[in-house]
Amino acid sequence: MAALPSAHSRRRPSRLLIWPPPHIITTFAMRLASLLGITAAVTLAALAFVGSSADAGTVPSSLVDSATLDSDILSELAASGRLPPGFVTTPGEYTNFKQYSKLFTLEPHFAVFQPEGTRLQYEKDDQGRTSVIKAINDKNEVVSETSVMYHPESGQIINVFVENYSQSGDVMSDSAGITFEYDEKTKTVRNYRIFTPRGMSVTYDGRLRFVLPPVNTKIPLNLQPWDGKEIRIVPAPDVTDV
């Protein structure tokens, strides 16, 4: 299993803070590369942060109109022999969020699912915040790992990466990267940007819209205000529910 990424720099940022810093995009790109290939991974990580200051009701045009770029990424996804058969599906087939990702939920607040039959092991950063959560099975194998990064000024969670592994704990079977955009007035999450091997999506106006592959599928969501201060872990839904 690849080593965990180092925690973000603790040096106090200058007042002219450039956000997100390059190391965050690099961290996501490195983690995605094992599943998607380097080109697709770097592109997805960069797209996840495009337009982070856009209005809540606006999906950045660069996410929607890059047809040629999306086509290249799709070709690489389809050609990847490292993905399980049928792993990449068509977002147009999705009718609810559970079909898109079984690793976490956005309703009513963001939370990561704990695999059944596992115990949790928490790692803290030097400020006492949860930085890594491992789900360990009865054979003492890590079957799921969640990495958390925080904004250096607000202390709010700015991205989460979830990795699920095979029962033997040595092969990544699924993953998801989530970035959080906050409302400056309410200090709560305004939008989510999500990227998985099944495509990229963004939320706005209480809906999830798929922008990679370039389709116009929208899924209604029951989102409630969340301050992004602490990661939540909840039991995974029953198989019959997903």
Check residue 79 and give its pLDDT. 52
- Containing domain of residue 229, as a range? 22-84+93-237
Q: How far apart are CA 236 and CA 181, in angstroms?
A: 25
Give the CATH number, domain containing residue 132: 2.40.128.720
Check residue 235 and give its pLDDT. 94
Three-point CA angle 213, 216, 221, nearest 5°: 105
What's the mean pLDDT in 3-14? Answer: 35
Residue 9 falls within a domain, yes or no?
no
Residue 11 falls within a domain, yes or no?
no
Q: Scanning the structure block, which residue is given the tokens 């973000």?
A: 8
Residue 130 falls within a domain, yes or no?
yes
Residue 5 falls within a domain, yes or no?
no
Number of structural domains in the chain: 1
pTM of structure: 0.67
**Which tens digits make up the pLDDT trace of 199-217?**
778 887 777 777 655 456 6
Percent of the chain with pLDDT over 90: 29
Q: How far apart are CA 26 and CA 28, in angstroms?
A: 5
Q: Which of 9-18, 109-118, 188-197 has the lowest mean pLDDT?
A: 9-18
Strand partners, 117: none
Check residue 75 and give its pLDDT. 46
What's the mean pLDDT in 74-91? Answer: 45
Residue 50 falls within a domain, yes or no?
yes
Check residue 10 and give its pLDDT. 33
Check residue 174 and give its pLDDT. 86
Spatial neighbors of 126 by CB under 8 A, at least 6 apart, are 7, 10
DSSP 3-state of 73: helix
Residue 2 falls within a domain, yes or no?
no
